[in-house]
Structure 1
Amino acid sequence: METARTRDVTEAGGGPGAPRRRRRGVLAAALTAAVVLLGGGTFAYFHTNVLGPDRICHGWVTPDAAAAALGGGLGRVSASEDSATGCTVELTGWLPGKEKRLSLRSVREQSGFPFRKGVWEVSAGRPVQLGAAPGTYDAYGGWALVPACKGTDGAVPAVRADVTGQDAPGDADGMRRVVTSAAQALAADAGCAGPDSRSSRTLVPSAPRDTDPEKVCGIAGFRLPGVRGPQGSALREEITGSLSAGLYCDVSFAGDKEGPFARFAVVRDPAMAATLKGRAFDRVRCAGQETVLAHDLRYLDDSERAATRVPDTARLADTFGAAARGALHCG
């Protein structure tokens, strides 16, 4: 006969088997939680850097900054310090063959870098960073000067970064961040830290365009009348920056696979200008700021010069310098 007490116990989930069922439920919940935690921890280990070191590559950069330079996405960052001046960063996920690698190096460039004759490493086709750790970069790599540091033998301390071992590019802004971070860390280690990253500004390239022969590189008065490609092709130019901030301009013959035949620069960043010390370029003061008017002309033999009507280096420099000084109202 069912009593009120029996009904109460049964309805409340009681009875002789209730404690065992409750223990099984608690055990199942604990096991589920453990699986979730294990899975979450495994995911975090292989797809994030939450369990890794705060800084890598001799302390130059954070794992997140290195991952951003490689294009970001899920994956774990590891770093191998190949030498006292180099490091290889790898971004690895679950799938094999999806590794991305970044080479990061502290280097001592030859005197004249980045404006060595015939080997300019400031291209109007890449963004140029000024201020803290000035340099250039794109999705495949970049470099930055180490702020305020000077080599005793005329060498130029810098940082280089390159995406290696893959066809896919990294990320341009991530590359900017990683070379800036590394350059500033090296400068701090050497006791010659320059301005912090808040002083930085970026000059962005324009789209390639036809050159106005009466206003080459957008500079009023800079004229190259009659200059054409060997087969009569037009001139093309690409510009990064402006006269007021600093201007970098590449001039090419349309369709020429050899690239620019002339490069021009109005260098106003103090650290960039310092690399040109001792070079035979015009140095002027414009609005109270030291400015270097630099140029580089590809070698053209007599027949090429006759066919293209490109002035010789001295005349080209004079024409460019006079126009730039006039446009900037330099004293």
Structure 2
Amino acid sequence: MAGNARRWKIAVPLVSLALIGSWVHLSYNTNVLGDDELCGGLVSARAAEAAFSRTGRVSGDGGPGTRAGEASFDCWLDNTSALPGSPDLEMHLYTTRDRGDEAFTGGGPGQAAITYFSGPASGGVEKDHKAWVWLPPACLDGESMRVNAGLMSREGSADRVGLAALAVDAANRLMDHLECDADRLKAPLSIDATPVERDADPGRLCGVPGFSLPAASTGRARKIREVAPGARVPLWTCFVALEQAPDDSGDGRRDRGSGFATYSVVQDPVVIDGIKRSKGYAEESPIDGRPVTGFDPTHIVATCAGKETYFAMEIGTQQLRSWEKPGAPRDAELFRSFVEKAGPSFGCTDISGAAR
């Protein structure tokens, strides 16, 4: 009997310490004892935890609002942890209204390094720190709108799939808030790896059969580098840059950052709809005598076998420098070559109106 009493005297404090430890862990490292919804109900705490990709308690500040009569969303999330060596992390969720092709007009390797997804939800993931999703047309009362989720802290990294899922979840909740009649978006179950720079096949740039740069444009470049997805997808972009010879004094190395050009093709109907709603988009052809629509001669929408397809080219500094050389083709010729060669890769077999 005395032995049992001693064991109880030892066990009770240990159990109490374990319970206290569990309570501290749940209180400071998880949201089990906290709010299930954050930012006025537009963010799921569980989705936010998955995006942060680490143990920690998530809190939010902000929520739905009205900006110039339009629905908006702005929320800051904090992830704090009592575990040693765990810095506080911060994430920003917000909406943006912009030109429907905004994601494809920045140019450079950063644009090409985005991994896009399309289907039940359309959006993109930038490495391991930002994701966004476009709202469907039924939810728009004006220009294209995106719901963005970005990790703002330099320390740590977000889970790519979780980040996309957080943006999609917030978009669905915003859609409910707006009471728009559209199917709920579904987050992708996986995200392709971030495209990395590689040596290009000069006669098959961006993986497009027959697509090349004219010799008058490449100058003394030893080789061509590119950043491109591995397969044809509804949201596609490719960055092309020239590598100069070691004894070349100049321009190529200095202008390497923006490269030669960044090419894009879009066949996602949600994005196409946003493009056509944008300010500056015109049904009148930006290319004289050609049956296309768009913003200008290098940002157009063509009809390819009944499917609306957006083609774009962003000029890099290397291309601008090439114009100083005699006989170097201008942007219109280079863009036409791209459309002619890339079109068939996207099922566009009759795009003469955009390419002649």
Identify the TM-score tier after normalising by the shorter chain.
Answer: 0.7 to 0.9
Q: How many Å separate the matches in 2 of 1:182 and 1:122?
A: 25
Code of the residue aligned with 1:252 in structure 2: it is A
Give per-residue Cα distances to partners, 1:154-200, cap 9 Å, x unaligned.
Answer: 43211122222324332222221211211222123223334531678
Q: Out of 211, 220, 236, which is 2:200 matched to?
A: 211
Q: Percent sequence identity over matched residues?
A: 25
Offset of 1:298 from its aligned partner?
A: 3.0
Distance in 1 (CA, whole Å) between partners of 2:119 and 2:110 is: 15
How many Å separate the matches in 2 of 1:108 and 1:209?
A: 34
**Residues 1:79 and 2:97 are matched in the alignment:** no
Q: CA deviation at 1:249?
A: 1.2
Match of 2:25 in 1: 43
* Shift in CA distance, 101/195, structure 1 to aligned 2, threshold 3 Å: same
> How many angstroms does 1:87 deviate by?
1.2
Structure 2 Cα separation of the partners of residues 122 and 150 of structure 1? 29
Between the aligned partners of 2:218 and 2:198, the Cα distance in structure 1 is 15
RMSD (Å) for aligned C-alpha atoms: 3.2
TM-score after normalising by structure 1: 0.79
Is 1:128 the counterpart of 2:116? The answer is: yes
Query: Is this contact kept in 2: 1:136–1:144, CA < 8 A?
Result: yes
Q: Is the 8 A contact 1:128 1:204 kept in 2?
A: no
CA contact (8 A) 2:42 2:173 kept: yes
Bigger shift: residues 231-240 or 48-57: 231-240
Could you say if the C-alpha distance between residues 227 and 78 of structure 1 is closer, same or farther in structure 2, counting changes exceeding 3 Å? farther
Q: Are positions 1:69 and 2:51 aligned together? A: yes
Structure 1 stretches lacking a partner, 5+ long: 1-12
- The aligned runs of 1:168-179 (5 Å cut-off) are 168-179=156-167
Bigger Cα displacement from structure 2, 321-330 vs 127-136 = 321-330
Amino acid at match of 2:26: A
Selected match of 2:329 from 311, 318, 326: 311
Moved more, 225-234 or 142-151: 225-234
Asked if 1:325 is matched to 2:325, the reply is: no
Shift of 1:326: 3.2
Bigger mean CA deviation after superposition, 22-31 or 169-178:
22-31
Q: Tell me, in whole angstroms, the C-alpha distance in 2 between the residues paired with 1:195 and 1:121.
A: 32
**How far apart, CA to CA, are the structure 1 residues paired with 2:257 and 2:301?**
27
Conserved? CA contact 1:159–1:183, under 8 Å? yes
Deviations 1:73-124 (A, max 9, x none): 22211112277321111111114771011111122224542334x5689822
Aligned-pair distance for 1:43?
Answer: 1.4
In the alignment, the residues of structure 2 paired with residue 201 and residue 266 of structure 1 have an alpha-carbon distance, to the nearest angstrom, of: 22
> Aligned partners of 2:43, 2:95: CA distance in 1, in Å?
13
- Work out the CA distance in 1 between the residues paired with 2:78 and 2:314: 37
Q: Please, which of 209, 228, 232 is the counterpart of residue 221 of structure 2? A: 232
Q: 2:239 aligns with which of 241, 244, 250?
A: 250
The C-alpha deviation readout for 1:270-289, integer Å capped at 9, x for no partner, is 11222332324141234x53
- For 2:104 and 2:343, the matched residues in 1 are separated by 20
For residue 240 of structure 1, give the secondary structure of its aligned residue in structure 2: coil
Q: Offset of 1:23 from its aligned partner?
A: 6.6
SS of aligned partner of 1:123: helix
- Give the Cα–Cα distance (whole angstroms) in 1 for the partners of residues 151 and 340 of structure 2: 41
**Which residue does the alignment assign to 1:143?**
132
Following the alignment from structure 1 to structure 2, what is the Cα–Cα distance between the partners of residues 52 and 176?
23
Amino acid at match of 2:153: G
How far apart, in 1, do the equivalents of 2:121 and 2:113 lie?
A: 19
Amino acid aligned to 1:243: R
Is the CA contact (8 Å cut-off) linking 1:131 and 1:201 kept in structure 2? no
Question: Does 1:261 pair with 2:280?
Answer: no
**302-311 or 157-166, larger mean C-alpha shift:** 302-311
- Which of 153, 159, 172 is matched with 1:165 structurally? 153
Structure 2 gaps of 5+ residues are 66-72, 244-252, 282-293, 351-356
Could you tell me which residue of structure 2 aligns to residue 284 of structure 1?
Answer: 303
CA contact (8 A) 1:115 1:122 kept: no
Equivalent in the alignment of 2:312: 294
Q: Distance in 1 between matches of 2:168 and 2:327?
A: 42
CA contact (8 A) 1:237 1:251 kept: yes
- Indicate if the aligned counterparts of 2:92 and 2:149 stay in contact, CA closer than 8 A: yes
- For 1:57, the aligned partner's letter is C
- The verdict on how the C-alpha distance between 1:195 and 1:49 changes in structure 2, with shifts beyond 3 A counting, is closer
**What code does the residue aligned with 1:179 have?**
A
8 Å contact 1:130–1:202 — kept in the other structure? Answer: no
- Compared with structure 1, are the counterparts of its residues 30 and 240 closer, same or farther at alpha carbon in structure 2 (3 Å cutoff)? same
